[in-house]
Structure 1
Amino acid sequence: MKAATPWGLRILRLAALALAACLAVGARAAPDAAPDATPDSALAPAPAIMPPAPAAIDTPAVSAAPARGARPRICLVLSGGGARGAAHIGVLKVLEDLRVPVDCIAGTSMGSLVGGAYATGMSPAEMERLVSGLSTEKLFKERPPRKDLTVRRKQDDFTNLFTPEIGVQTRGLLLPKGAVSGVQLETVLRQLARTPGYRDFDKLPIPYRAVATDLVAGTPVVFNAGELANVMRASMSVPGAVAPAEYQGRLLVDGGLTDNLPVGVARAMGADVIIAVNLGTPLMKREELTSVIGVTSQMLNILTEQNVRASLASLGPADVLIEPALGDFSATDFDHLTATIPIGEAAARKVAERLAPLALPPAQYAQLRAAQQAVSPPDTRPVDAIELAPLHRVNPEFATAVMETKPGEPLDQATLDQDMRRLFGTGDFEHVNYGIMEEPGKRILVVNAVEKSYGPDYLRFGLGLSTDFRGDAFFNLIGSYRRTWLNSLGAEWRTDLQAGQTTSLTSEFYQPLNTRQYFFIAPRIELERRPVNVFQGSTRLATYDLRRLDVALDVGSQFTKYGELRLGVQTGTLDATLSTGPEALSPGPGRIKRGAITGRLFFDQLDSVDFPRFGYAGSLRVYASQPGLGADDSYIKAQGDLLYAHSIGNHTVSLGLKAGTNVGNPLPRYDLFQWGGFLQQSGYATGQLLGGNLQFARLVYYNKLARQTLLQGIYAGFSLEAGRMGAPLVPGSPTGLLKSGSLFLALDSPLGPLYFAYGRAAAGTYSFYLFLGKPF
């Protein structure tokens, strides 16, 4: 079968492939030869994928122990191939069934992952269980689970902004180095590597080598030591898709660009017999070469196959070649990894006769595998210190405060992985990982948090639109500019601009008051102009424009990643002008002075805002207008909302509640609740319901139908809704219970959630909707 490339990878793949082609053309080393043996210990350490250590790379001439007894030394060579690489697990299963010993392993890209896991003692069955739970989203999603984001980064999700963010520097606008940072991928790699810490790969249960590519020199780089998970990460850093890894001043990317089948590396390890597993990538047919991306992909495949052919040509008569018949299975189809395992098994069994002479007697093989699979218990010894790579903008005290791991406490890998996700979730880093360094009498946790090279200022854009195909429509363009780390406490200045039906400008200076950023002060200015339509039934009676200017000052506290509480004062003016309709519906007498005490409680534990599957979120707001603060009117407006989601498989049910009311004096005409529209009493026009208090509930069901290239998900669902608008502006408007519902098809698109829906109210009104954005 053929799976499409995930949209984020495909968009950036063109530039990546062109870069890779240049590397392949300019590579100075023959792919089947031993790379340059010059040590890198003289290079200055840099924010890196692993702690620096002498002779960790480019030392292929170092040979492991000679073969046991008189039998030949057998080395397994595993090629790269992306998602096709899970076929290597099937090959390993057959090798074990046939009792073929493996004395050393050399791997590239996905081959380095499977080979590295096997070298540490992980069985093929364990690997199969691990990969069965993986997917493109779990491996390559750009940011960690949403629950690990800071509150401010969670709040960004409620505005329909596109990704990626654009860096703003004096030299111009910049984009990230890769489509994904690799933080999610590295969590999986650490599971494969089992034990953190710097290791000599000749001392693993099975000696091991991994191949990466020096992005600057265009030459292969062979690792014989290091943090195993980080070495794997470097070996499969596809340029343009996964951000490059940095080690001792070298920028490293996928090893497949220069040595996709590292036969020469295995020879340097002392191999007498090589079992080479070549996954290959089939060339596209003429009719598939219809785009620039297709042609460039073909060019990369041709260049990669050239270095593989050189490796294949170096195989001798005693060596065994296994080539799984993967057909057109996509190298990017990580949603169906296990589908290639049986194909790998079948390919290995085809050469069983050639493998049989290499087999050991049952007792001897069982003894060998028992020794290779002996797993040491997790090393939970405390670290004596935590060291961060040099940071230029982010306060190191903030970075260490985010982490739960502390010196002197037992080391827990799950906690460390979560610490890395939390650091990345602050939005300040483009790559985060760690390593353990052992020094005489001292154990050090080295955290490599690499600040965004395109920061510290960021620009994002978005849009929102809605139409019922009968004249009720709006279109809004959105822009957000964020300046970060303006001082050592992490001050942030954010300005949001919206133009369209609603025009607004909000600019806030967010100043934390302590290093951990639990407390803050936030002055803010808000300008807004928006129309308000007044209906009687489904007939529009009047329209008036509201123009608002407010200046506010909030103080508050963040509850780590769970929520935020704000209290503040606000003052300003509001101009309400009747555009059409009778004077009796005018919202007020010209300019209105405003002054209030405000409060807001926000909490958020949703896994997604666009199409949540699990979790909850909500808010409570209070606006207490006070003449003592300069307001013309005295009233209190309170409102709250709650959203809860739960899923079983691809089926999701969410419950949404919203309520608003006045406390004491009735709300003035210019500050009423406005409701109606898709999923906000479907079947009614947008903002059709206008009144002094609101109660609303909805139950939404949706089923995820499919994943596609440019669409992260396709959903079909329905909603059941009920609400009431009390104290309506127009006398005679309905005040009883209003019932409605909708049927919809939704797309999780790069532009945001896109809905096509039919909504109908019990009163008989109905609407068709095209909606882009986040309803409720």
Structure 2
Amino acid sequence: MKYFAALRLICVKVVLLVSLTVKATEPSPKIGLALSGGGAKGAAHIGVLEVLEENRIPVHMVTGTSMGSYIGGMLALGFSAGEIKRRTFDINWHDGYFDRLTRKELQLKEKKRTDEFLLYTDIGLSLDGEIKPLPGLVLGQKMASMLRELTGNPPNFDSFDQLVIPYRAVATDLEKIEPVVLDSGNLVQAMQASMSVPGALRPVQKDGRLLVDGGIVNNMPVDQVKMLGAEIVIAVDLRDAMFKLEDLNSAVNVVNQLTTYMTNTGSDQQVALLNLDRDVYIVPDVSYMVATDFNLMYQAYRSGREAALAQLPKLLRYQIDEQQYARYMADKRRQWLPATYSFTDIHIVNQTTLSDTSLYEWLSLEPDRNYSVKELEQAIDRLYAKGIFEKITYEVEEDGKHLSIIVVEKAWGPGYLNLKLSIERDNEQRPNYAVGAEYLLTNVTRTGGEWKSKILLGVQDKLTTGLYLPLDYQQQYFAEFGIGWQQEIREFNNVARFDADQDEVKYKSLQLFSQLGWNIERDSRLLMGIDGGYSDTQGEFSAVPKQEVTSLSGYGEYNYDSLDNFFFPSTGTLLDVQLGYRYSDAEIENGDISESVPYLDSQMIQPLTWDEHSVVALVRASGSESNAFYPVSPQSLGGLFNLSGFNRFHLTGNYSAFGSLIYRYHVDDVNFKLFSAPLYLGGSIERGGVWLDKDDISWDSSITAGSVYIALDTLLGPAVLAYGVAENDNGSLYFAFGSQL
């Protein structure tokens, strides 16, 4: 008996040893990850990846749709969950839905132009009056740039099987409404095609097809990960919840209900492909958000973690030991992302009317020099900042030595129409308003010349037209010529020269100018020019004499502007200084007054920001001596933040000096889904004065003012509600909207 018992024990041990040996040598199953679309909800995928990494569960292949294609692509490149999280959360995804560059990225002349015409419609308008609308609200330039920086812009691949983890993205053929599996080529383009939400981002053109968000036809590509050879599938479903009956009370919600049904039905078909005894189906609770709630991405990430942890008992069946996982992690480290590129050949695919030389000069890229992806993006942004291109992309060949830059001119150009609408209303005086339009005709010369005309109607009526002519291909030197007509009302108060009841004066002028300029760098320039013209000045009552002036001036000017936002600056500096000498001849009823005088026009703006607080210091000084009855070059103060408490142009003279400190506190961002608008509370302290004679200038004769305000920085311009007070019982409630420039 003892003999048989010992024999049985030996047999059991042998069987156990053999089974353990077989298990140890058994290859782990090939695990595939299928990541669904969902916009901002896609941050939940990062939480899932984090749990997989923490528990040593490998991923051997990955497929994704929309935001899932981005997360999956980052994983396929070899990024860890922590790296994906950091890069994804460090970027402002709202920026991807606006193609306009930030103000700091614009050339100085573009900053000044866009500050005035904030209704940047960019509508195409030909010289014969044909209107050419944009092909889409958002063309995808900024989104492509963001994806290139996030991924490191790897070179093109013959197959996405060459990635550290084999990868597929799913898009939709917009013509045939059928799925398109992207399995080779440019990884960033594949991601962008899969993420291009119809109506929000322009479709991506590839191989003769228009591709949009894959969620329309296959929002969770389980079938594709199985085709890659996955034996076990981990599927992450970020489906939207259906609306309840009481919520179906608007056209938008009704349309959303239908699209949600279609998307969820497609996902249900993919769920049916899962074997729920072996596969793992993860459904994070993201019902509290929609695809555009990028401000809730961290909550989505937490929801992803929680959902994955709830499935941990099933996931742990596929856990591998520490040694195996260390080898797996080493094998999947990023292989396709060199720190820098050095190109032997840089080729521009020029789909514009500009010369190749101009494009090469603006890019300033040279062969056989090291460039990081960030430096390449900066070069692309320099070119895109010209405002005349629809799309600029670049591709690195697989060997990393050849760079192709594709430059596409706006198909709706070369003429563009932009608009202006502004109002400053106080409760005491007339409203200061302006409506206007600007027409810009680009590429009138091979070096990028422009013809610009604008019309403004309101308290100031203005009509101007002029040419901007770069003198070299890099546009470092330029000449400008123009003519302008202007009519405006100025006010004179407490000035002995005028009757007590006479304060409104109408100025009309016709001016011509020409100047030469040097663009020192993006933010600064030097100008030297001459201007001259004729002005007609008439008081409100016939008892006040009419004045006619002819003038000729020569001047030098320096401009520096690195402000991130002209209306609510947080960083940068603005400095404008113009020094000139003017000859004028004024004709009035009592005779002529001829004089030659120097003049100054200057301002400086310097913000200081800490945490959510900002203080903006502003100083202005302008003027020249004049013995004419009315100022030849009138200087004015009045209006919100410009001696608050007075209406605009309330104080006018030959000289003005002004300083202010404007404080603001960033309360919150008002979320409008695709974009958000900062909300501010603040106040100002102001001091300034206007004088007819230089000898009258003094601190004691200047005026103290201030204001409190609430403001919203919208896409259409600043909206401000304020109350301003000044000395001598001057006070006013203001509403201001748009640019007051």
Residue 256 (str. 1) matches residue 215 (str. 2): yes
| Aligned with 1:616 (options 573, 582, 591) | 573
Distance 1:330 1:399, change over 3 A: same
Structure scoring higher RCO (CA < 8 A, sep ≥ 6) equals 1
Report the more deviating stretch, 480-489 or 706-715: 706-715
% identical equivalent positions: 29
Matches within 5 A, 1:196-235: 196-199=154-157, 200-235=159-194
Residue 71 (str. 1) matches residue 28 (str. 2): yes
Name the counterpart of 2:144.
186
Name the counterpart of 1:660.
622
Matches within 5 A, 1:720-735: 720-727=685-692
Name the counterpart of 2:369.
409
Once the two structures are superposed, residues 149-170 of structure 1 have per-residue CA deviations (whole angstroms, 9 ceiling, x without a partner) of: 1222211133143133212246
Following TM superposition, by how much is the alpha carbon of 1:494 offset from its aligned partner in structure 2, in angstroms? 0.8
Once the two structures are superposed, residues 280-326 of structure 1 have per-residue CA deviations (whole angstroms, 9 ceiling, x without a partner) of: 11223333333333322222222222222221222224322111011
Once the two structures are superposed, residues 200-239 of structure 1 have per-residue CA deviations (whole angstroms, 9 ceiling, x without a partner) of: 3212211111112222332222222223223212221112
Q: Distance in 2 between matches of 1:359 and 1:177?
A: 50
Q: Indicate if the aligned counterparts of 1:258 and 1:307 stay in contact, CA closer than 8 A.
A: yes
Distance 1:171 1:361, change over 3 A: farther
Name the counterpart of 1:535.
493
Report the more deviating stretch, 764-773 or 652-661: 764-773
Matching residue's letter, 1:277? V
Residue 513 (str. 1) matches residue 471 (str. 2): yes
Distance 1:152 1:287, change over 3 A: farther
Secondary structure in structure 1 of the residue aligned to 2:692: strand
Name the counterpart of 2:511.
550
Q: Distance in 1 between matches of 2:579 and 2:168?
A: 62
Q: Distance in 1 between matches of 2:56 and 2:145?
A: 32
Secondary structure in structure 1 of the residue aligned to 2:492: strand
Name the counterpart of 1:759.
724
Q: Indicate if the aligned counterparts of 1:160 and 1:464 stay in contact, CA closer than 8 A.
A: no
Once the two structures are superposed, residues 460-481 of structure 1 have per-residue CA deviations (whole angstroms, 9 ceiling, x without a partner) of: 1111111211233122111111
Q: Distance in 1 between matches of 2:91 and 2:339?
A: 26
Distance 1:290 1:448, change over 3 A: farther
Following TM superposition, by how much is the alpha carbon of 1:668 offset from its aligned partner in structure 2, in angstroms? 5.3
Name the counterpart of 1:347.
307
Distance 1:734 1:601, change over 3 A: closer
Residue 153 (str. 1) matches residue 110 (str. 2): yes
Matches within 5 A, 1:116-155: 116-155=73-112
Residue 488 (str. 1) matches residue 449 (str. 2): no
Q: Indicate if the aligned counterparts of 1:195 and 1:378 stay in contact, CA closer than 8 A.
A: no
Once the two structures are superposed, residues 318-368 of structure 1 have per-residue CA deviations (whole angstroms, 9 ceiling, x without a partner) of: 322111011131211112322211100111122222222222122212221
Name the counterpart of 2:638.
676
Name the counterpart of 1:82.
39
Secondary structure in structure 2 of the residue aligned to 1:486: coil
Distance 1:407 1:709, change over 3 A: same
Name the counterpart of 1:696.
658
Name the counterpart of 2:200.
241
Name the counterpart of 2:648.
686
| Aligned with 1:287 (options 232, 242, 246) | 246
Secondary structure in structure 2 of the residue aligned to 1:225: coil
Q: Distance in 2 between matches of 1:293 and 1:549?
A: 52
Once the two structures are superposed, residues 657-700 of structure 1 have per-residue CA deviations (whole angstroms, 9 ceiling, x without a partner) of: 10013269789524221111211111223222222222211111
Distance 1:524 1:557, change over 3 A: same
Name the counterpart of 1:708.
670
Distance 1:540 1:350, change over 3 A: farther
Following TM superposition, by how much is the alpha carbon of 1:728 offset from its aligned partner in structure 2, in angstroms? 5.7
Name the counterpart of 1:566.
527
Name the counterpart of 1:736.
701
Q: Indicate if the aligned counterparts of 1:542 and 1:582 stay in contact, CA closer than 8 A.
A: no
Following TM superposition, by how much is the alpha carbon of 1:735 offset from its aligned partner in structure 2, in angstroms? 6.1
Name the counterpart of 1:718.
683
Distance 1:471 1:377, change over 3 A: closer
Q: Distance in 1 between matches of 2:494 and 2:725?
A: 18
Matching residue's letter, 1:158? D
Matching residue's letter, 2:91? L
Q: Indicate if the aligned counterparts of 2:550 and 2:586 stay in contact, CA closer than 8 A.
A: no
List runs of 5+ in structure 1 lacking aligned partners.
1-67
Matching residue's letter, 1:694? S
Following TM superposition, by how much is the alpha carbon of 1:581 offset from its aligned partner in structure 2, in angstroms? 7.7
TM-score under structure 2 length normalisation: 0.89
Q: Indicate if the aligned counterparts of 2:44 and 2:284 stay in contact, CA closer than 8 A.
A: yes
Name the counterpart of 1:21.
none
Q: Indicate if the aligned counterparts of 2:118 and 2:739 stay in contact, CA closer than 8 A.
A: no
Following TM superposition, by how much is the alpha carbon of 1:703 offset from its aligned partner in structure 2, in angstroms? 1.5
Q: Distance in 2 between matches of 1:69 and 1:433?
A: 47
Q: Distance in 1 between matches of 2:698 and 2:609?
A: 38
Q: Distance in 1 between matches of 2:259 and 2:695?
A: 67
Q: Distance in 1 between matches of 2:256 and 2:541?
A: 59
Distance 1:597 1:556, change over 3 A: same
Distance 1:620 1:656, change over 3 A: same
Q: Distance in 2 between matches of 1:732 and 1:381?
A: 61
Q: Indicate if the aligned counterparts of 1:195 and 1:379 stay in contact, CA closer than 8 A.
A: no
Q: Indicate if the aligned counterparts of 2:552 and 2:584 stay in contact, CA closer than 8 A.
A: yes
Q: Distance in 2 between matches of 1:701 and 1:641?
A: 19
Q: Indicate if the aligned counterparts of 2:585 and 2:594 stay in contact, CA closer than 8 A.
A: no
Secondary structure in structure 1 of the residue aligned to 2:50: helix
Following TM superposition, by how much is the alpha carbon of 1:709 offset from its aligned partner in structure 2, in angstroms? 4.3
List runs of 5+ in structure 2 lacking aligned partners.
1-24, 588-592
Q: Indicate if the aligned counterparts of 2:35 and 2:236 stay in contact, CA closer than 8 A.
A: yes
| Aligned with 1:359 (options 308, 319, 341) | 319
Distance 1:668 1:459, change over 3 A: same
Once the two structures are superposed, residues 31-61 of structure 1 have per-residue CA deviations (whole angstroms, 9 ceiling, x without a partner) of: xxxxxxxxxxxxxxxxxxxxxxxxxxxxxxx
Q: Distance in 1 between matches of 2:188 and 2:44?
A: 20
Report the more deviating stretch, 488-497 or 70-79: 70-79
Secondary structure in structure 2 of the residue aligned to 1:294: helix
Q: Indicate if the aligned counterparts of 1:571 and 1:629 stay in contact, CA closer than 8 A.
A: no
Following TM superposition, by how much is the alpha carbon of 1:757 offset from its aligned partner in structure 2, in angstroms? 0.6
| Aligned with 2:558 (options 601, 611, 615) | 601
Once the two structures are superposed, residues 505-558 of structure 1 have per-residue CA deviations (whole angstroms, 9 ceiling, x without a partner) of: 011111111111111111101011111122229986321211111122222122
Following TM superposition, by how much is the alpha carbon of 1:141 offset from its aligned partner in structure 2, in angstroms? 3.8
Distance 1:175 1:653, change over 3 A: farther
Following TM superposition, by how much is the alpha carbon of 1:371 offset from its aligned partner in structure 2, in angstroms? 1.5
Q: Indicate if the aligned counterparts of 1:699 and 1:719 stay in contact, CA closer than 8 A.
A: yes
Following TM superposition, by how much is the alpha carbon of 1:595 offset from its aligned partner in structure 2, in angstroms? 2.0
Name the counterpart of 1:385.
345
Distance 1:649 1:416, change over 3 A: same
Name the counterpart of 1:176.
134
Work out which of the two has the higher radius of gyration on C-alpha atoms and give 1 or 2. Answer: 2
Report the more deviating stretch, 709-718 or 263-272: 709-718
Secondary structure in structure 2 of the residue aligned to 1:526: strand
Q: Indicate if the aligned counterparts of 2:149 and 2:373 stay in contact, CA closer than 8 A.
A: no
| Aligned with 1:474 (options 421, 432, 435) | 432
Following TM superposition, by how much is the alpha carbon of 1:400 offset from its aligned partner in structure 2, in angstroms? 2.0
Following TM superposition, by how much is the alpha carbon of 1:418 offset from its aligned partner in structure 2, in angstroms? 0.9
Q: Indicate if the aligned counterparts of 2:138 and 2:200 stay in contact, CA closer than 8 A.
A: yes
Secondary structure in structure 1 of the residue aligned to 2:258: helix
| Aligned with 1:334 (options 294, 307, 313) | 294
Residue 592 (str. 1) matches residue 552 (str. 2): no
